[in-house]
Amino acid sequence: MSMLVGIIGKPNVGKSTFFSALTENQVEIGNYPFTTIESNKGVTYVRSKCPHVEIGRKCSPKFGKCNEGVRMVPVEIIDVAGLVPGAHEGKGLGNKFLDDLRRADGFIQVIDGTGSLDRNGNFVGHGKFDPLDDSNFVHEEIVLWLSSIISDGLIKGLRKIESEGGKIETFIATKVSGLGIDEKTVSVALKRAGVPSNLREWNDDSTKNLAEELISLSKPGIIVATKGDKMTPDERKKLTEKGVIVVSGDYELVLRRAAKAGLIEYNPGDKDFRILKEDKLNKEQINALEAVRSYIRENNGTGVQEAIEKLVYNVLKMIVVYPVEDETHWTDKAGNVLPDALLMRDGSTALDLAFKIHTDLGNNFIRAINGRSKRILGKEYILKDNDIIKIISSH
């Protein structure tokens, strides 16, 4: 079970192209709203330095791959379609798509950097629309959606707590547990939202403030402006200065497909590429590739790989941990070296890792062993990035 990232945004901004570039999967790419009727799920990778170089033996990843010491750690992503103003009330494709966000650990909001689309995703002409306008309504839709989940049966629940006792955080946590939000997070959100201690004073604003805090605590995200290849340097600069990551999904897709076909040498995140089979390319294709080359040289890559890594490492603060069965050789039972690379939240413990691998391993946890120092670690040991860990259980 890896982590999940949701890609959201209004129609036509370039979500499916961006998703496709990240996953190298074929999905329908179209120029009219609601092309993507079914949510698309796929797997992408974030880079991490692989410890196999330390013992001089090649690793055998069960998922993902390793290119010359750069381990590609899998991340599940989902292309969530049809988010328009009013989606939480069922407009566009409505709630079904917001529901896709339930399981997501975080999200990437894609906006159209060229400012060519109105709020509903209709083409209105380059620069006719403020690209950043979307970020407000998308955030608002998510908050309203969560508010409606919290509101459902809220008054009755609050009255019951008043008359019979009980904890408000427990009550709210049961409502939002399907979204992967636990009671501890609800507790923090309630404090931050400043909801009234007298439950009779609870109103719609209290609910909305709570939803805002829950989103920022449990579903953090980044904004990515795509179609960078169609933007002027000035348009790109303006967005970058606002903390938006400018990318070209289109160019990344071209590069990954050409690399997959063996025509060029290119790895995600590279700032340049090498043509391997010039004889297999016609003049038009070479010109197209050279246009991509001048863009990525000027802009330090297409930005696609940076975007996913910024979300995973900097915003969600994930670390990579390698569970093994044999702490001496760093293998599983079958002798595969470093078979699994798991993303875990910074601050996770050895016990969290055990539970992530298997509930039984968590329940029967005895101790863990650090694969490098061979030291014994207790339940509470805080995992470090790149740790190699063996878990010992009573089974």
Ligand X SMILES: Nc1nc2c(ncn2[C@@H]2O[C@H](COP(=O)(O)OP(=O)(O)O)[C@@H](O)[C@H]2O)c(=O)[nH]1
Residues of the shown chain interacting with ligand X in the complex, contacts defined by CB under 6 A? 9, 11-17, 29-31, 35-36, 226-227, 229-230, 248-250
Report CA-CA distances (Å) from 180 to 104, 166, 173, 283: 8, 22, 10, 51
Spatial separation of the C-alpha atoms in residues 395 and 151, rounded to whole Å? 44
Give 79 or 327: the residue with its C-beta nearer to ligand X.
79
Give 9 or 371: the residue with its C-beta nearer to Mg ion.
9
Q: How far is the CB of 35 from Mg ion (least distance, A)?
A: 5
* Cβ-count burial 307-337 (b if 16+ within 10 Å, e if not): bbbbbbbeebebbbbbbbbebeebbbeeebb
Q: Which does 59 bind (CB under 5 to 8 A by kind): Mg ion, ligand X, none?
A: none
Give 84 or 383: the residue with its C-beta nearer to ligand X.
84
Q: How far is the CB of 230 from Mg ion (least distance, A)?
A: 18
**Which residue number has the CB closest to ligand X?**
14
Q: How far is the CB of 113 from ligand X (least distance, A)?
A: 8
Which tokens is 258 given? 């050409």
Q: How far is the CB of 2 from Mg ion (least distance, A)?
A: 23
User: What's at 60, amino acid-wise?
Assistant: S
Report CA-CA distances (Å) from 96 to 38, 41, 72, 137: 10, 15, 31, 18
Judge contact between 264 and 252, C-beta under 8 A: no
Give 254 or 263: the residue with its C-beta nearer to ligand X.
254
Q: Which does 23 bind (CB under 5 to 8 A by kind): Mg ion, ligand X, none?
A: none
Spatial separation of the C-alpha atoms in residues 19 and 79, rounded to whole Å? 6
Report the C-alpha dihedral over residues 384, 389, 393, 395, rounded to 10 degrees. Answer: 140
Q: How far is the CB of 34 from Mg ion (least distance, A)?
A: 8
Q: Which does 12 bind (CB under 5 to 8 A by kind): Mg ion, ligand X, none?
A: ligand X
Phi/psi of residue 282, nearest 5 degrees:
-85, 175
Spatial separation of the C-alpha atoms in residues 217 and 285, rounded to whole Å? 46
Q: How far is the CB of 274 from ligand X (least distance, A)?
A: 23
Judge contact between 26 and 65, C-beta under 8 A: no
Report CA-CA distances (Å) from 243 to 112, 130, 224, 247, 364: 15, 15, 9, 13, 45
State the residues that interact with Mg ion by CB under 5 A.
15-16, 36
Give 295 or 355: the residue with its C-beta nearer to ligand X.
295
Q: How far is the CB of 308 from ligand X (least distance, A)?
A: 15
Judge contact between 162 and 200, C-beta under 8 A: yes
**Which residue number has the CB closest to Mg ion?**
16
Q: How far is the CB of 37 from ligand X (least distance, A)?
A: 11
Give 12 or 185: the residue with its C-beta nearer to ligand X.
12
Beta strands in 141-257 (DSSP E): 221-226, 245-246
Give 16 or 114: the residue with its C-beta nearer to Mg ion.
16
Give 11 or 323: the residue with its C-beta nearer to ligand X.
11
